[in-house]
Amino acid sequence: IKLQIWNNLQIKATNICSGIKTPNELSKKNLAIVMEWINIVCGSLFDKLSKQECLEMVCGSEYHEVADGEPLFFQGDTGKHYWIVLTGEIIITVLHSNIKAKRKSIVYKRRRSWVPSKNKISNQEYDPNDLGETVFRAGPGVGFGQIALISKNPIRSGSCIATKNNTALLGVPTNMYKK
């Protein structure tokens, strides 16, 4: 029964968030549902925050949904968010050369392999592993991307690719993360 309640809450919250840029756009009722969902998913990440601080952080963050194979960012990009996986899964891949990573990311963007096409047999025309070795895999409740935010050089040290459709993430901007 608990699993069914959780699934219903997750479906309700993702439907509420679908199509919004920030949770701040929601009504109080819908925001309360989304906050309940996020608090369950991210429980340990928010342990040190008061309810008010958590609400402010979530309202100041961005909601993103990405498809299987769709990149969130590439190695060498400037880091602007701390990311928290709400549903789905992502991988972080790393190439040993930032120059090679930049070239590969340009090709990946150009091919837009995550966009469904009638002419493709599968959505994975361009393998995310071409962007390097998978060094990290994250599912719901896991945060990542802090290295670019806390280091003197705000450059992403790896590429982030979704591995499941409808992967939902909360992007906490640098200024909110540093509070």
Helices then strands, counting H and E runs in the chain, come out as 6, 8
Quote the pLDDT of residue 124. Answer: 47
Tokens representing residue 99 in the block: 């120059």
Average pLDDT, rounded, for the chain: 83
Phi, psi of 87 (to 5 degrees): -140, 160
Phi, psi of 25 (to 5 degrees): -80, -10
Tokens representing residue 53 in the block: 């601080």
Residues of the chain with pLDDT under 70: 1, 98-99, 107-129
